[in-house]
Structure 1
Amino acid sequence: MDVYESALDLIGGTPLVRIRTGGAAAVYAKLEYLSVGGSAKDRIGLRMIEQAEKDGLLRPGGTIVEATSGNTGIGLALAAAEKGYRIVLVVSDRVSAEKVDTLRAFGAGVVVKSSGLPREHPEHPISFAARLAETTPGGWLANQYDNPANPEAHYLTTGPEIWRQTEGRVTHLVSCIGTGGTISGAGRYLKEVSGNAVQVIGADPASSVYSGGDGRPYFIEAAGHFVHPDTTRDVWPTSYHLDVLDRIVPVADRQALDTLRQLARTQGLLVGGSSGTALAAAHRVAAAAGPDDVVVVILPDSGRQYLSKYFNDTWMLRLGFLDGDETAARVADAVPEGSDASPLPYVNTRADIAEALAVLRARALAGADPVLPAGPCPAGPERRPMAPELTGSVSLSAVEAALLHGTAAPSDRLADHLEPPLPHIGYGEPVEEALARLARHAHDTAVVLRDGCAQALITSSGLRAALPTPR
């Protein structure tokens, strides 16, 4: 049995395991979740701290501050625990509960901020963390997005490990792009040592701007690049070295989630969402590769961090990522035909009260329920909004009452007068469950989601119409 002096000696050194694909090329997964802190970010957490110590930026008794989707925070927190630093981590409200609990277990202070804010907003997690580091005595901002120690950690460790483990036979490296550090560092090493023979392929959520998407929200944590519609300038991390990549493969959320759930059930490997994205891309790469090729895919973290999300059937059903039991009455059976092709009615929160009122009155005249979801969606109604974009709702009765009582003016921003969001129900959910949930809300209208995307509006009467007729 190997014996180590501290947990820091257990960072990295992760194994490769063969993935069954049915194709000619060999595919090996690098199981980064077997690092001591549970992810590839252990490597950069330690490296960034050690470099900051060397540069005199982090001194004994200092406080580490960082904005994180969880894994980098865990890597920093375990190193901080061993080295005796205080640490405060800023996360968004979309980070899994398991990650937040893990951060606190390591003794980190955790500050939760809204994910629905543009980067420039002072309460955005990155902006808040930067300000917190500046105002904390002895504070040091790790700044993983722009810290050169991030890609350097993978250049010095991950890349060499892959080269040694494959005995120099690796031909393709597939990795998700988040901060860009993993693929930039490991990819650069493998290109240099192979004489530029190794192809480096990025895996990216389909709506992420890295792969050419429009930057809308997605449901895979710790991957891709989201752009809030109110962002004035899109800033990419300097840890991401685009020149290292040969190409990028976009992967839809559903495919990523199906892939990671299938991997757990067929090979006993429990991995996270970004791993599902990377593996789905690796399958495509391997399908086009030959029998002499060796594809290595980096699986960044464990599925144990997402048991309440990606491996929870209730969560999956409510967001429309599962089709449900087709032999029973489902929400899908109640959705009007043609909803897939017709625009979803909603009101952009950039509108004023007068614009919203005109839309609502037109719907009332057409006999439709005069309540609509609202959100800061960047495109017109032909682009179906994702669930996180629908941040509120607006009803005809509430708007007219506000105007009548003088609590709102026609020129007011709609964003300042929103009601709570309409309930979301999933395409594959049983009708009975959807009805029970809808009954607990103020409005009798719900948004139907498919693959996390708003597909249609439906009322309780529409849902009941899908129930079998009693005999």
Structure 2
Amino acid sequence: MSAPELAPKGFVPNAAQVADGFAGAVGNTPLIRLRRASEATGCEILGKAEFMQPGGSVKDRAGLGIILDAEQRGQLIPGEPGIVVEGTAGNTGIGLTLVANARGYQSIIVVPHTQSREKLDFLRMIGADLRLVDPKPLRDPGHYVNTSRRIAEELAAEGKRVIWANQFGNLANAAFHEATTGPEIWTQTAGRIDAFTCACGTGGTLTGVARALKAKNPKVRVVLADPMGSGMYSWIKTGEVKAEGNSITEGIGQASAVPGNLEHGRAAIDDAVQVDDPTALEQIYDLLLHEGISIGGSAGINVAAAIAVARQMGPGHTIVTILCDGGARYQSKLFNPEFLREKGLPTPPWLA
């Protein structure tokens, strides 16, 4: 068999694509057809492969957008000392730290110590000043978001050039997705998209993509995917934040407060679906075992929600969702039979 015959179907080399550093490599991730989900529903279910970002997750976009916005505002100046401070479940901290490294800034990242060991180790590896805190409710001064804001305020009082990234309330987060992720999806589907579903951590991805797609076609259905233990499903459905149950997923769902990015984009969201952990894990394991696609917990929620939306809409529709990051960042949890058994959850069949 000749070399050209070995190339994947539809492969076209793109010799003109040379990225200008880290920032230039963010974005333009492919859409992947999820074969089994598509065949099971009679729809085209497509996942945007954000695990292929240079920093490994969709949060590279938020990190780049927030820092570029700070530079445009003069809060950070390329080539001069600056500090980026943020409270995060991990992935935004990774994205911010890598962008900060590339542009000559320091980063201080505050994370609950309960997050996956893999993300914490990665943050240390890439040079973040990692500050671990106990998990506490948002109203508590010791909550990771409140702690990060306090650190930024203290550094500013010392005369340091510093920004508090504030991913939940910083509208540059959603704006970057509106400028990049949404238009990419529209172009990649040639405008043939009927629905978009995505979980909400900060609301940046969901809101930004929703606005971009609705600007092209107001009939595109936008659905929030919510894990158990989050009150965003209730907020979309009833206007009241009411959380029930719990979830092992990290970085998505809000139990008590609506993030500023999501609140600002409420008009672009049509509906919400709720997904429990066993359903999400089923998709995570199925995709890995049968399609060779490794995804994390939030992506499992997204795929399960896309399937639910496809079944609501019926065959013949195209639904796009976000594959936020890869499963390797959750090996100690999602692929740890002992951890899963303690939570009463199914284990990967090949590890059980």
Q: Which TM-score band applies after superposition, normalised by the shorter structure?
A: 0.7 to 0.9
Select the residue among 119, 122, 125 that pairs with 2:144.
125
State how far apart, in whole Å, the 1-side matches of 2:253 and 2:325 are: 15
Report if the CA contact (8 A) 1:46-1:79 is conserved. yes
Deviations 1:291-343 (A, max 9, x none): 43111111111111101110122211122103899xxxxxxxxxxxxxxxxxx
More helix by share: 2
Select the residue among 34, 56, 76 that pairs with 2:52.
34
Aligned: 1:25 with 2:43:
yes
When the two structures are aligned, how many residues end up with a matched partner? 317
Match of 1:214 in 2: 243
**Pairwise CA distance, 1:218:** 2.2
Query: What SS does the aligned partner of 1:91 have?
Result: strand
Give the letter aligned to residue 153 of structure 2: E
Match of 1:103 in 2: 123
Distance 1:239 1:161, change over 3 A: same
State how far apart, in whole Å, the 1-side matches of 2:276 and 2:42 are: 25
The structure number with the bigger radius of gyration is: 1
Match of 1:421 in 2: none
Matches within 5 A, 1:281-320: 281-320=305-344
Select the residue among 270, 274, 285 that pairs with 1:261.
285
Report if the CA contact (8 A) 1:36-1:42 is conserved. yes
Distance 1:40 1:269, change over 3 A: same
Report if the CA contact (8 A) 1:203-1:251 is conserved. yes
**Pairwise CA distance, 1:121:** 2.1
Report if the CA contact (8 A) 1:64-1:87 is conserved. yes
Aligned: 1:81 with 2:101:
yes
Query: What SS does the aligned partner of 1:203 have?
Result: strand
Match of 2:24 in 1: 9
Match of 1:139 in 2: 162
Residue segments in structure 2 that go unaligned for 5+ positions in a row: 1-14, 235-241
Report if the CA contact (8 A) 1:175-1:298 is conserved. yes
Match of 1:322 in 2: 346
Match of 1:186 in 2: 209
| Identical positions, percent | 38
Q: Which runs of 4+ in 1 moved over 3 A?
A: none
Match of 2:12 in 1: none
Aligned: 1:56 with 2:74:
yes
Aligned: 1:277 with 2:301:
yes
State how far apart, in whole Å, the 2-side matches of 1:145 and 1:103 are: 20
Aligned: 1:200 with 2:219:
no
Report if the CA contact (8 A) 1:317-1:324 is conserved. no
Match of 1:43 in 2: 61
Distance 1:80 1:124, change over 3 A: same
State how far apart, in whole Å, the 2-side matches of 1:53 and 1:243 are: 29
Query: What SS does the aligned partner of 2:272 have?
Result: strand
State how far apart, in whole Å, the 2-side matches of 1:120 and 1:318 are: 29
Match of 1:223 in 2: 252
TM-score, length-scaled by structure 1: 0.65
Deviations 1:338-392 (A, max 9, x none): xxxxxxxxxxxxxxxxxxxxxxxxxxxxxxxxxxxxxxxxxxxxxxxxxxxxxxx
Match of 2:133 in 1: 113
Give the letter aligned to residue 330 of structure 2: Y
State how far apart, in whole Å, the 2-side matches of 1:102 and 1:215 are: 32
Select the residue among 140, 158, 161 that pairs with 2:181.
158
Report if the CA contact (8 A) 1:274-1:300 is conserved. yes
**Pairwise CA distance, 1:288:** 2.7
Report if the CA contact (8 A) 1:215-1:225 is conserved. no
Residue segments in structure 1 that go unaligned for 5+ positions in a row: 228-234, 326-428, 430-471
Distance 1:207 1:112, change over 3 A: same
Give the letter aligned to residue 195 of structure 2: H
Query: What SS does the aligned partner of 2:41 have?
Result: coil
State how far apart, in whole Å, the 1-side matches of 2:213 and 2:187 are: 11
Give the letter aligned to residue 138 of structure 2: R
Distance 1:18 1:127, change over 3 A: same
Distance 1:165 1:312, change over 3 A: same
Report if the CA contact (8 A) 2:51-2:325 is conserved. yes
Deviations 1:62-117 (A, max 9, x none): 110000111111110110110010100000122111111111122111001111x2
State how far apart, in whole Å, the 1-side matches of 2:336 and 2:286 are: 14
State how far apart, in whole Å, the 2-side matches of 1:95 and 1:226 are: 17
Match of 1:399 in 2: none
State how far apart, in whole Å, the 2-side matches of 1:80 and 1:96 are: 22
The CA RMSD over aligned residues, in Å, is: 1.7
State how far apart, in whole Å, the 2-side matches of 1:158 and 1:324 are: 32
State how far apart, in whole Å, the 2-side matches of 1:315 and 1:14 are: 32
State how far apart, in whole Å, the 2-side matches of 1:274 and 1:244 are: 21
Report if the CA contact (8 A) 1:217-1:226 is conserved. no
